[in-house]
Amino acid sequence: MNTYKIWIVINADDVRKMTLEKRPQTLEELQQKVKEKCTITEDFHLMYEDPDFNNQLCNLENIEDLPQERATLKVIPLVTICLQPVSFRNEDLESDDTDLDSLNSSSSSRSEQWPEFFDIPKFPSDVEFRLHKANMQYLKDGTPLDLPSDMKVAINAKLAEAIFKYDAYPSVDRFKSVAKALISKHPCLREPGSPDGCSGWVNSLTFKMSNYRQKLRKSGCFEVEVNSKNLLPSKKQAGLKRAKRSEVNFLPNLPNGSTEEKLEEERKELIEEMKKRNPSDPVIKAKMNMTFPLRRQEIVNSATPVKEVQARWPALFTEKQVGQCRILSNHHNKRYTPQLIKIFKSKKGTSRDKLATIVEQIDSNVSSLSSITFRLTLFSMISNCIYSRENGDVSVGILLVTDDGPTTDEDLHLSPLSPSLIVEGGIVLDDMKSLPQALLLVFGLIYSLNLEYPKPMKNTLNFIQMVILGLEGNKLPPKLQALKNRLSY
């Protein structure tokens, strides 16, 4: 009886052989067989060596592409970025001998991003009754409410509290979205003399939010206290330290019952755990979650150099802490890919030459379509690293190791031996499994270390963040808005 043999490459140190009674009929069947054979618990996708192209690796998206007699497959773990501390369940820790009862504590103060449509909260009962009566009158004859000062104070106070749940430093556009939602729910609050009916509300919300932050600052809220001018009496204030990329937990306070001294002890225990030959993942997750506020204070308040952060928080510089679970392959990526390719092919001059390698690969390999955005971003990042290296400074970049000998600045290495991440001139993560994964982890590190986007890469990374990921994408810079318009044709 004919059998079907498969050579499975999990990583450089883990290669296995699998023999099946017959060739799999579906991609799902093949993935299940691989999962069972290799005891893989995380999601993954497969690449295969394509005999039509000198056994180059290619995404396996159709079972018909699988070679007929035998196949060599590579397992690619799926990754996405998690912009909040990792949560954990008690049952995850049951198998560990260490006493972890004291670690079951959450430090999160904010867990949601700014909503597409702001939900106006309920006001105090007396205010709600008066608004209901005024709304009925407005719908009857269009008479707006002559708003008493006590009602306005109560409304602004409740709205400021609701706004802070999403953003401590909202933009004017966000204030406008709240004001429009307010007069939409309570039309009696429309301002007859305002062009949009809510300009006065935008102004009053802006002032109220400032007063609300001042109260929180006095009560010890880290997220606003960090921007107190009194903290730096001898230095010029260098701009607000605030969430810039929809981070839902930018600078939380310490958990109830915790002190900096207690968390420092947890940090030291975490370092000892990392020194073990086989560190316990549940212990690391729990301790990293508990010490998150202390870590953010060091990184955000003190702007600690990356090398020092790496020494104090080695667990932060692991793939499991930077990003986890699933690959970024959302509908935006697939939606924009065809139009992106048209734009690339329409380029002329030097830009066209630099993109030619990728465009040629797209023409010959349809499976490259799903990763075109990442590949081009990586090409730009690699070029930026080459430029920065020549000038003695690499702020954020991807280091590639290949076996192809000398390369030129325009070379695009889509299958390096081991991509590594560079921050402030030093390698902080190495042996990445793929270039798309490396790019995703760059985003995770930029958040974890509170870094700015490298200036030469700012537009490219903002495009990924705002358009592809949809984070803070409500107001794009002119160049990105123009590109998004072209992609929407």
Q: What digits encode the pLDDT tens for the residues 409-438?
A: 444 455 566 778 888 778 888 877 777 777
On whether both 345 and 420 belong to a single domain, the answer is yes
Phi, psi torsion values for 46, nearest 5 degrees: -115, 145
Tokens read off for 478: 């002119």
Q: Which of 198-207, 244-253, 373-382 has the lowest mean pLDDT?
A: 373-382
Which of 297, 324, 351 terminates a domain? The answer is 324
Neighbours of 122 (CB within 10 A): 9
3-state secondary structure the chain: CCCEEEEEEEECCEEEEEEECCCCCCHHHHHHHHHHHHCCCCCEEEEEEEHHHCCEEEECCCHHHCCCCEEEEEEEECCEECCCCCCCCHHHHCCCCCCCHHHCCCCCCCCCCCCCCCCCCCCCHHHHHHHHHHHHHHHHHCCCCCCCHHHHHHHHHHHHHHHHCCCCCCCHHHHHHHHHHHHHHCHHHCCCCCCCCCHHHHHHHHHHHHHHHHHHHHCCCHHHHCCCHHHCCCCCCCCCCCCCCCCCCCCCCCCCCCCHHHHHHHHHHHHHHHCCCCCCHHHHHHHHHHCHHHHHHHHHHHCCCHHHHHHHCHHHHCHHHHEECCCCCCHHHHHHHHHHHHHHHHCCCHHHHHHHHHHHHHHHCHHHHHHHHHHHHHHHHHHHHHHHHHCCCCCEEEECCCCCCCCCCCCCCCCCCCCEEEECCEEEECCCCCHHHHHHHHHHHHHHCCCCCCHHHHHHHHHHHHHHCCCCCCCCCHHHHHHHHHHCC
* Higher per-residue confidence, 469 vs 67: 67
For residue 114, the model assigns a pLDDT of 81
Residue 416 is predicted with a pLDDT of: 60
d(C-alpha 413, C-alpha 435), whole Å: 9
Question: How far apart (Å, rounded) are the C-alpha atoms in residues 473 and 240?
Answer: 20
Specify the number of domains making up the chain.
4
Q: Residue 190's beta-bridge partner residues?
A: none
Residue 242 lies in a domain: no
| C-alpha pair distances (Å), 239 with each of 235, 290, 446 | 12, 29, 18
Q: Is the same domain home to 276 and 201?
A: no
Same structural domain, 365 and 445: yes
Does any domain span residue 160? yes
Q: Could you tell me the residue range of the domain that residue 275 belongs to?
A: 90-109+249-324
| pLDDT for 193 | 83
Q: Read off the pLDDT of residues 443-476 as tens digits, 9 standing for 90 and up.
A: 788 888 888 887 777 888 888 778 777 776 667 7
- Chain centroid to Cα 111, Å, comes to 14
> Is there a domain that residue 85 lies in?
no
269 and 225, same structural domain?
no
Question: How many other CB atoms are found less than 10 A from the CB of residue 284?
Answer: 20
- Residue 335's alpha-carbon distances to 113, 329, 373, 379, in angstroms, are 23, 10, 11, 21
Question: How many alpha carbons fall within 13 Å on the CB side of residue 151?
Answer: 16
What is the torsion angle, in degrees rounded to the nearest 10, for the CA atoms of residue 469, residue 119, residue 108 and residue 323? -10
Is-contact 8 18, C-beta < 8 A? yes
402 and 477 belong to one structural domain: yes
Is 304 a member of any domain?
Answer: yes
> What's the whole-number mean pLDDT along residues 227-236?
50
Which residues make beta-bridge pairs with 58? 48
Residues 39, 100, single domain; the answer is: no
CA 385 to CA 390: how far, in whole Å? 8
**Mean pLDDT, residues 311-326 taken together:** 75
**Selected residue with higher pLDDT from 346 and 307:** 307
Q: Phi/psi of residue 347, each to 5°?
A: -65, 155
| Structural domain includes residue 478 | yes
Instruction: Give CA separation, 400 vs 361, 375, 455, in Å.
Output: 19, 14, 21
C-alpha to C-alpha distance for 488 and 238, rounded to whole angstroms: 38
At 343, the amino acid letter reads I
**Across 35-49, 219-233, 297-311, 324-338, least confident range:** 324-338
**Residue position matching structure tokens 């537009």:** 459
The verdict on residue 83 lying in a domain is no
Q: Does 238 fall in a domain?
A: no
Question: In this predicted structure, what is the pLDDT of residue 329?
Answer: 39
Hey, which residues does 71 pair with through a beta bridge?
Answer: 6
Q: What is the distance between the alpha carbons of residues 148 and 198, in angstroms, rounded to a whole number?
A: 17
Work out the average pLDDT over 150-179: 91
Query: Which of 136-145, 269-278, 357-366 shows the lowest mean pLDDT across its residues?
Result: 357-366
Domain limit, last residue, from 324, 357, 384: 324
| pLDDT value for 390 | 46
Q: What percent of the chain has pLDDT over 70?
A: 70
Q: What order do you get walking across the sheet with 426-429 strand by strand?
A: 396-399, 420-423, 426-429
Residue 154 lies in a domain: yes
Single out the residue of 222, 285, 224, 293 nearest to residue 264, CA to CA. 293
Strand partners, 323: 81
Do 292 and 176 reside in the same domain of the chain? no
pLDDT (0 to 100) of residue 111: 54
Residues 343 and 458 in one domain: yes
Residue 97: the pLDDT is 39
CATH of the domain at 40: 3.10.20.90
Which candidate, 373, 307, 296, places its Cα nearest to that of 334?
373
Of 255, 306, 340, the residue nearest 428 (C-alpha): 306
Residues 67 and 214 in one domain: no
- Same domain for 70 and 104, yes or no, is no
Q: What angle do CA 241, 244, 249 make, to 5 degrees?
A: 80
Half-sphere exposure of 36 (CA within 13 A, CB side): 9
Residues 365 and 349 in one domain: yes
| pLDDT at residue number 109 | 54
Tell me if 74 sits within 8 A of 44, measured CB to CB.
no
Other C-beta atoms lying within 10 Å of the C-beta of residue 155 = 24
